[in-house]
């Protein structure tokens, strides 16, 4: 028994042509494989840009507990001095 489900989707002609071309070029065995790969990337991307609320709360708490804030320019100047690179012209 398969864990697949057949769906029907409507795509813009340009995307449909790109799918057919990818299969014709041998990049994928079928349009279904190409769509599945695209959806897997989409799903991975969703996880990457949407951290869970608990992670955000933990990071905010850690940041607040880490001490007094320092202006970013001061931090970058210190790093440049440490690695010996001059500041880029602004």
pLDDT tens sequence across 32-70: 999 999 999 998 877 666 667 888 889 899 988 998 888
pLDDT of residue 14: 97
Range of the domain at 26: 11-84
Q: Would you say residue 3 lies in a domain?
A: no
Q: Would you say residue 6 lies in a domain?
A: no
CA distance 29 to 86: 52
Closest to 34 (Cα-Cα) out of 23, 25, 45: 23
- What is the per-residue DSSP string for 35-68? HHHHHHHHHHHHHHH---HHHHHHHHHHHHHT-S
Count the domains in the chain: 1
CA distance 85 to 1: 61
Cα angle value 26/28/32 (rounded, 5°): 140
pTM > 0.75: yes or no: no
């Amino acid at each position: 028994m398969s864990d697949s489900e057949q769906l029907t989707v409507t795509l813009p002609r340009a995307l449909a042509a790109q799918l057919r071309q990818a299969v014709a070029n041998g990049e994928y065995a079928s349009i279904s494989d190409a769509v599945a790969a695209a959806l897997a990337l989409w799903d991975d991307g969703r996880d990457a840009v949407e951290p869970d609320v608990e992670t955000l709360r933990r990071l905010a708490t850690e940041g607040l507990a880490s001490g007094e804030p320092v202006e970013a320019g001061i931090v970058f100047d210190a790093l440049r001095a440490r690695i010996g690179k001059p500041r880029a012209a602004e």
